[in-house]
A and B are shown apart, each in its own frame.
Chain A
Amino acid sequence: MKLGRVIGRVVCTQKMECFEGLKLLLVQPVDEGGKDAGSPLVAFDVARAGEGDLVMFEAGKEAAQANPNGWFNPADAAILGVVDEVSTGPRRSR
């Protein structure tokens, strides 16, 4: 998975049946510091995310598996969680 920020919403009236009822969101990948890391992409959402949320998304064939309408679909990105917090410290002593 990767971290991203939801920067918009995508509305499609005409779409494949397997995407019916799914929310499509525009996601800007970011690093753990919140800085942009790459180009925005469209992902479907199963974690009740909204605009401005920091999210974790999966890109690749695993994303399609999260589609509640069945696993055989062409989705290549899915929002699987809303991130509450990313903590970078303290370093663990070993």
Chain B
Amino acid sequence: MTLAKVTANVVSTEKHAHYHGRKILVVQPVGPDGKPKGKSMLAVDGVQAGIGDLVLVVDEGGSARAVIGDETAVTIRTAICGIVDRIDVAEDSATAIDIEDR
């Protein structure tokens, strides 16, 4: 799983049947310091996440289908499986993320 921030909402009418009725969000992977890391991607939401949330993202097909609870949706690969409230890091490690200021 990777940490990511939800940056946008995607609206699509014409799409593959596996995505019907599912919320699709743009997520930007971030490091433990909250800074963007790598390219953004689209993820199916499994936990009612919204724009601005810091989330946990799985980018593997089997895991993503477990999140949405439909093992027949075989074209789905990326899903949001948690909303992060807080991250505690060791004092001698990176700086803690201020969730309120993300």
> Interface residues, chain A, CB within 8 Å of chain B?
1-3, 29, 31-32, 37-38, 46-49, 56, 58, 60-63, 65-66, 71, 78, 80-92, 94
> Are A62 and B52 neighbours in the complex by a CB distance under 8 Å?
no
> Are A3 and B51 neighbours in the complex by a CB distance under 8 Å?
no
**Chain B residues whose CB sits within 8 angstroms of the CB of A65 once the complex forms:** 74-75
Closest beta carbon of chain B to A91's beta carbon, Å: 4
- Please report the number of residue pairs spanning A and B whose Cβ atoms sit closer than 8 angstroms: 97
Closest beta carbon of chain B to A40's beta carbon, Å: 15
> Are A56 and B12 neighbours in the complex by a CB distance under 8 Å?
yes
> Interface residues, chain B, CB within 8 Å of chain A?
7-16, 18-19, 24, 26, 39-43, 50-53, 61, 74-78
* Distance of A47 Cα from B61 Cα, bound (Å): 20
Tell which of A32, A80, A90 touches B15, judged by Cβ atoms closer than 8 Å.
A80
> Are A3 and B42 neighbours in the complex by a CB distance under 8 Å?
yes
Tell which of B7, B39, B75 touches A58, judged by Cβ atoms closer than 8 Å.
B75
* Distance of A78 Cα from B18 Cα, bound (Å): 13
* Distance of A2 Cα from B10 Cα, bound (Å): 11
> Are B39 and A38 neighbours in the complex by a CB distance under 8 Å?
yes
Closest beta carbon of chain A to B50's beta carbon, Å: 4
* Distance of A83 Cα from B12 Cα, bound (Å): 4
